Chain A
Amino acid sequence: MREAALVLADGSTFEGELIGADPTDGVATGEIVFNTVLSGYQEVITDPSYAGQIITFTYPHIGNYGTNAHDFESRRPFCRGVIVREMARRHSNQRASESLDGMLRRFGISGIAGIDTRRLTTLLRDTGAMPGAFGTASESVLRERAAAERGTDGLDLVSEVTTESPYTVGDGPRRIVAVDFGIKTTILRHLARIGTVEVVPASTTAAEILSRSPHGVFLSNGPGDPAMNAGPVATIAQLLGEVPVFGICLGHQLLGRALGGTTFKLPFGHHGGNHPVRHESTGRIEITSQNHNFCVDPSSLVGKVEVTHLNLFDGTNEGMRVIGAPAFSVQYHPEAGPGPHDSEYLFAAFADLIDRHAGAAATGGGR
């Protein structure tokens, strides 16, 4: 057992034991957030949107069913660490190829177990996501490092996680350019069902995108503060009206900013798989997968968008349709991975938008 401690920026300390890789100098730091999913830890840990963050799992047993090649949401985890109540010593599932602890070690991710994660969650809920440090170093070192850690505000994390060069997935009839701000594999799987997906780096310009003659452009999820993505916001503004656009999560926030709207940081974000979202046009409730700290302020977009989805827990915006341009986006994760499948229809809706737009263009309509 490697005795370890966790210290938050406010000085709160927790005792536990180290899991996963040994951190450099015995310390791992990052912005601490929590996630309330009961299953899907592998997808969460490998979701690039967690770049810069340390993930606390509220469910106490993590690692029960190991990890497998299929459930990676990206090529590697980008999070800065994992906090659990208990890490499975033995996993059991026929899909597993490696233990979670083994996977974390392989990718150099550290974690801490034995933590009163409920106390930690309550603290984060009441004070907001907080920087922190954990490891085997002395408490005073951890305290210093926690105080020095700045969190994700004002950081450009997208450049850390986006693809270096373009690549293509799928071979369907529709040509979709997906701008990678930290795209999840499950999103790519869904998009590949409706078209050929050309994944391009976040820095790709509108001209470069349009030169690929896409039938549609997809704006992916990704980590960090949407305000730190001025380049992509400008790009999106140029694409609007030219081509059908669909955004998820960070893609949703960037679309909002491209329309001139503002975004703000939620106190502790939405991270889980159980938030109810109302689809305003049908009144149907979708149970959704959520992972974001920032939010679009719909009052900054009055007249420019129609709010299509609403979070029933806190009334925040969960989706919008752009007025006057073929573009829509959602704040939550309709692709699931992990999470419920209630909102998969949005990918079909994107295909439909693409087809209607193409049809309108062919009959001389369009702009």
Chain B
Amino acid sequence: MPRRDDLHSILIIGSGPIVIGQACEFDYSGTQACRVLRQEGYRVILVNSNPATIMTDPDFADATYVEPITPDVVARIIERERPDAVLPTLGGQTGLNTAMALFERGIIGRPGTPEMIGANAEAIATAEDRELFKQAMIEIGLRVPRSGTAHDLAEARRVMAEIGLPVIVRPAYILGGRGTGIAATAEEFESIAANGLDASPISEILIEKSIAGWKEFELEVMRDRNDNCVIVCSIENVDPMGVHTGDSITVAPAQTLTDVEYQQMRDAAFACIRRVGVETGGSNVQFAVDPATGEQVVIEMNPRVSRSSALASKATGFPIAKIAAKLAVGYTLDEIANDITSSSGMVTPASFEPTIDYVVTKIPRWAFEKLPGTRGVLGTQMQSVGEAMSIGRTFAESLQKGLRSLEQGRLGLGCDPAEAQLASLSDADLLASIRIPTPERLFQVGELLRRGVAIEVVHEACRIDSWFLDHMLQIMEERAALAEFGIDGMTRRRWRRAKQFGFSDAQLSFLWNVDEAEVRSRRSAAGVMPTYKTVDTCAAEFAARTPYHYSTWEDESEVRPSDRPRVVILGSGPNRIGQGIEFDYCCVHASFALRDAGYETVMVNCNPETVSTDYDTSDRLYFEPLTREDVMNVIEAETAAAGGVPPRVIVSLGGQTPLKLSGQLPTELIAGTSPHSIDLAEDREKWNQLCSQLRIPQPPGGTAVDLDQALAIVDRIGFPVLVRPSYVLGGRAMQIVHDRDHLARAMAELAGFGSLGREGGLSAERPVLIDRFLEDATEVDVDAIRDHTGDVLIGGVMEHVEEAGVHSGDSACAIPPQNLPAWVVEVIERYATAIANALDVRGLLNVQFAVSGTTVHVIEANPRASRTVPFVAKATGVPLAKVASRVMLGATLAELRSEGLLRAPSDHGHVSVKEAVLPFSRFPEVDTALGPEMRSTGEVMGIDTTFGRAFYKAELAAGTVLPSEGTVFLSLADGDKPAGLVLARRLRHLGFGIAATVGTADYLESFGILVDQVVGKISEGHGINAVKLIESGEIAFVVNTPQGRGGRTDGEQIRKSANGRRVSSVTTVEGALAAVQGMTEMQGVDVAVRPLQEYHAR
């Protein structure tokens, strides 16, 4: 069946901000869908509140709504655009839930309203409603774990009694396993069931017999309207059932199933997608297998493109989202060509099952170190913030590559300095530890195997299949053999074997205690060099020209020669807090711009969720770890393929990951700002000198490598001070320190192993930076571009809502600045220009300022892409990343203006607000107060005619509903009380009731403001306290600002309870004032929607 001509316009619902469980995989899938549907001639309408996405680039849709993804707002977009269809299956759980809400309201999926394509409401309900799903599976003869559903605690207890402990509790309609847990005792059950009921938007939980310890598998299925079904990929989890699949190390393809078992699972997956009724597109079905009997049960299915589909696409080269979009508009699988093989002249259809000749390993990355209070134990609720994927010819090779791709200071499965952490633990301690899944478990398992503990014993403790364990053991045995050989005993065969086991030069350097450079040169001298194989969907059965490569150590390399000028773009690796999709956006834009300009672009990255790792984003993709060795290997391979001409390398768009490598790569290859200038900005001494030459004020400060030096600095500049390590992103381990004790603690932490030690520790090259902290200062961010002629473009000046001291990544900001006098903005622009010139920047520069009274201080400058580049581009319509990448390769701003790539910023008098999205709802044990260490996982943008409206939208998009009535609870730090007075007056004026803690209430009442309810200290225990008040549900909004130091207990409990009860709250007085401005401007007004294309029109 060909393309449907009865449809003309299609609305795609995106997935919104990056949150745990929903990351940039949906930008990847949504971007593919937008491209394909536009190529097919449809008018594409997109809604997504996340400005850092590539899909919200105005070029990817006909109408791009950067608006909150709520049913009300999307309904308004539908009213304005009147699309023929809505495609809800590419925007993650957000897309699906929003579509279901719109269906319930009769806005889509009913006669006379836009059609739901991909999956209809009935299919979504069957897959998402646990009880319906279970019944459907039983109906078609598939086995499911014994279970029952409950809607309240009493019912939950009855169901649990019938099934028997242990049980797993899963709330209906949630994503990333939020609210899920395993209960082994009645007490645990009580709290887990209560949490689950709370997490489910319809207060429904499934209570199911726990099958923790069973093997876990996933199949990615595609179906077309002719009912043709194919499996794109099978995935086996290394971590058995009990760990959320998003937190599991997973491997593709399945390794330990016989064909008989695999085909049984395949049949079941098809039966499942048919029964659920997903008419077209991709779904994933999860299975558990009892390792003792082989019994298979169905766990769940996602009736949409998922995180696993992104992984499966990257693992096989089969673009699931692109094909799903085509199937949704009527094509059948046999009508769609397989891009990868069709370039060979033979057109093979997408109606086949990819087969692969390598092993793919995905390893999650967590951020527990940024969330004090968390236990770091993995379970059924997803907690990871990113993942790395690696490809090797064997599991051992891909596992070791994957571990070094994580960039967490590990060089592989041990054989690195960090393994010393386990040295002091006894076998018994380690065996006890591996019973509990944690991020460290794999290393503990490796250590036990290295010590010779039997596979059977290790398996009994961790339940990881013995096939995987044996390969880990082989890595350990190989290591022992290599230690024995020594570098002088290495032969060609031995080098090759070591590399085939995935050992990096860095690991061997550690093992033999010789320089990594020496390892590299000895290995090369032995003639052992990496070979690059191709991901081609067909295990080389057909010739494929897909330029998608991975390294291994065999006979033949498949990189094709070419003589065009080429640029290697180093990506940003796995997502983490502080380094996420924004940098992928920059890398992808650079690739697009440079391809357009005639360069051959080469991407190196290891994050499977991203657009950058889509095989057609660049001319060539190397799916490789971002380490010195792996990157140098790519550069050498590219040089060889170009007949000895080395490529240029871009290190400044992928965040800190490639920037850290810049000093280790040949300087002459680096495009844009020189490593020397990068170092100038990072090196405190040189930077201070530069600022004083330029007469730009800085907060006083200095650098220290130990406590004595640190104390000497504070003796000079006084407290409070900002303490932070050099060369990190996202305010990693940044603290505001108010006294000597705290300073001693902070220095000890920075030097210790727990935090930064494993990222290299402190040294003269990487000291701690200590600066006077400017209280009550306004923070301002500037993104600028300078070309080699000295022409400087100020891309955007962003005024932060929260004061300096809250990490810029966690604070809201506005373009244009709202409260800065024009002369201050001029000073800021002048300083930024002077710094750009002084640093001889060729490309992007981000400068942070703190405006304190009438003084503009420069805090720091980074000659690289910043997190805000995509936001600025969406706000102004200027494609900063594209312009910067061209400038890095030598173009001037003037040339780009005349080419039309660089245009003047659009100004329709609109205001854009960026707001951070924080992960606290998943971590109820964590204090939600903002500070200098960044903890947000993503961001949203609100755009409207005024600041208040834009801020309101940004909050709504971030999940904070600003109320229009009710009681606001105020609990303010002393320093915030004067501003709180203004806040309280405005709230009163808007008709809100006010509740406050004693101190705040006294202050407000002394200025004549009526406080309706006063609560005492929690510790005093009498009367109603703040926590009880919040839990009573009578509070619509909480404003709680932490004291500068100490006395955090009450505040922390207040914030945690607001987080737990999901009452909207803010933790800064500036945030509260902005919120009140939003409430004021939205009184009696509906949210208005408008696409970016209109804001950017001239």
Contacts and interface: CB of A to CB of B under 8 A. Distances in A.
A70 B260 contact: yes
B259 A92 contact: no
B538 A36 contact: yes
A334 interface: no
A85 B393 contact: yes
B539 A284 contact: no
A336 B263 contact: yes
Interface stretch (B351-359, B884-892, B1060-1068): B351-359
A89 B263 contact: no
Interface string A317-350: 0000000000000000000111111000000000
Contacts of A276: 333-334, 349, 351-352
Given A285-B333, A313-B348, A94 B292 contact: yes
Contacts of B253: 38-39, 59
Given A116-B555, A285-B334, A336-B263, A60 B351 contact: no
B266 A283 contact: no
Interface string B363-393: 0000000000000000000000000000001
Contact of A90 (B267, B348, B466): B466
B467 A37 contact: no
A119 interface: yes
Contact of B539 (A39, A121, A275, A278): A121
Interface in A57-97: 58-61, 64-65, 68, 70-71, 85-86, 88-95
Contacts of B226: 283-285
A190 interface: no
Contact of A285 (B228, B255, B394): B228
Interface stretch (B91-99, B540-548, B918-926): B540-548
B356 A92 contact: no
Given A61-B395, A276-B349, A313-B542, A117 B357 contact: yes
Contact of B267 (A91, A93, A121, A341): A341
A254 to B, nearest CB: 26
B554 interface: yes
Contacts of B353: 273-274, 287, 340
Given A65-B257, A121-B357, A284-B227, A278 B394 contact: no
Contacts of B455: 90
B791 interface: no
A92 B263 contact: no
B394 A39 contact: no
A116 B554 contact: yes
B533 A89 contact: no
Contacts of A89: 470, 474
Interface in A255-274: 272-274
B488 to A, nearest CB: 21
Nearest to A85: B393
B941 interface: no
A138 interface: no
Given A71-B259, A93-B257, A61 B466 contact: no
Given A36-B355, A92-B465, A341-B267, A71 B258 contact: yes
Contacts of A122: 540, 556
Interface in B247-304: 253-263, 266-267, 291-294
B334 A312 contact: yes
Nearest to B333: A285
Contact of B470 (A37, A90, A274, A287): A90
Residue from B354, B359, B467, B541 having most chain A Cβ neighbours under 10 A: B541
B533 A285 contact: no
B230 interface: yes
Contacts of B257: 39, 65, 93
A278 B293 contact: no
Given A92-B465, A278-B334, A59 B357 contact: yes
Contact of B543 (A118, A125, A274): A125
B258 A88 contact: no
B1041 interface: no
A60 B556 contact: no
Contacts of A36: 355, 357, 538-539, 541
A51 to B, nearest CB: 21
A55 to B, nearest CB: 14
Contacts of A117: 357
A273 B261 CA distance: 15
A78 to B, nearest CB: 19
A287 B259 contact: no
Contacts of B474: 89
B359 A287 contact: no
B260 A118 contact: no
A336 B259 CA distance: 10
A284 B334 CA distance: 9
Contact of B357 (A40, A58, A287, A341): A58
B346 interface: yes
B352 A121 contact: no
A101 B783 CA distance: 62
Contact of A94 (B291, B352, B531, B540): B291
Contact of B352 (A15, A68, A93, A287): A287
A59 B556 contact: no
B533 A272 contact: no
Contacts of B266: 340-341
Contacts of A119: 554-556
A94 B294 contact: yes
Nearest to A123: B556
A71 B531 CA distance: 36
B48 interface: no
Contacts of B657: none
A34 B234 CA distance: 21
Contact of A312 (B267, B352, B356, B395): B352
B256 A64 contact: yes
Contacts of A38: 234, 253-254, 262, 355-356
Residue from B226, B294, B352 having most chain A Cβ neighbours under 10 A: B352
Interface string B221-240: 00000111010001000000
Nearest to A70: B260
Given A90-B467, A125-B542, A313 B267 contact: no
A340 B266 CA distance: 8
A278 B234 CA distance: 24
A7 B349 CA distance: 35
Contacts of B255: 61, 64
Contacts of A93: 256-258, 261, 294
A60 to B, nearest CB: 5
Contacts of B543: 125-126
B346 A314 contact: yes
B540 A312 contact: no
Nearest to A90: B470
A182 to B, nearest CB: 19
A89 to B, nearest CB: 6
A123 to B, nearest CB: 9
Contacts of A47: none
A349 B1076 CA distance: 73
Interface in B461-490: 465-467, 470, 474
Given A60-B394, A61-B359, A118 B533 contact: yes
A313 B254 CA distance: 25
Residue from A91, A273, A312 having most chain B Cβ neighbours under 10 A: A312
Contacts of A91: 467
A278 B349 CA distance: 11
A270 to B, nearest CB: 9
A85 B354 CA distance: 19
A116 B263 contact: no
10 contacts: A42-B259, A61-B395, A86-B393, A92-B256, A116-B531, A121-B539, A125-B541, A287-B351, A314-B346, A337-B259
Q: Which are the 7 A-B pairs with shortest beta-carbon distances?
A: A40-B259, A338-B259, A58-B539, A116-B554, A119-B556, A90-B470, A92-B467
Given A38-B262, A92-B467, A287-B352, 7 more contacts: A36-B539, A89-B474, A119-B554, A119-B556, A274-B352, A284-B228, A341-B267
